[in-house]
């Protein structure tokens, strides 16, 4: 029932223990939970991969772009999400680096 395992949870890319939930319309912690909880399924992840080109592994902080990758992370029991919450201010936190 934890938000972190919920299909609606979009984790922050740097701090995946917090994220956005469109169902309650605000920032929530991964340890939270509510009645709208629905555990994310492999099918939903695969559909997302097909529709959007990627899914996200919270455990490895990795964008997954292939079915094989996704299935491997799922098999290992990693925490997966359809995507991440976009932090529009993050570029202001980073130096130009090249």
Residues that bind other proteins (CB under 8 A): 10, 12-15, 17-20, 26-32, 59-62, 85-98
Shortest Å distance, C-beta 92 to other proteins: 7
Per the document, the length of the chain is 98
The least distance separating other proteins from the CB of residue 72, rounded to whole angstroms, comes to 15
The residue (of 41 and 59) whose beta carbon lies closer to other proteins is 59
The least CB distance from residue 47 to other proteins, in Å, is 23
Q: In the chain, at which residue ranges do the beta strands (DSSP E only) sit?
A: 10-11, 18-21, 26-29, 55-57, 62-64, 80-81
Strand ranges across the sheet with 18-21: 10-11, 18-21, 26-29
């Amino acid at each position: 029932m934890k938000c972190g395992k919920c299909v609606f949870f979009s984790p922050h890319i740097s701090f995946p223990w917090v994220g956005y939930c469109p169902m309650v319309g605000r920032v929530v912690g991964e340890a939270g939970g509510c009645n709208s909880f629905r555990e994310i399924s492999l099918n939903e992840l695969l559909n997302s991969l097909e529709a959007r080109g990627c899914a996200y592994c919270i455990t490895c902080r990795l964008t997954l772009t292939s079915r094989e990758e996704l299935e491997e992370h799922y098999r290992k029991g990693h925490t997966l999400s359809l995507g991440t919450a976009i932090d529009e201010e993050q570029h202001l936190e980073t130096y130009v680096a090249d």
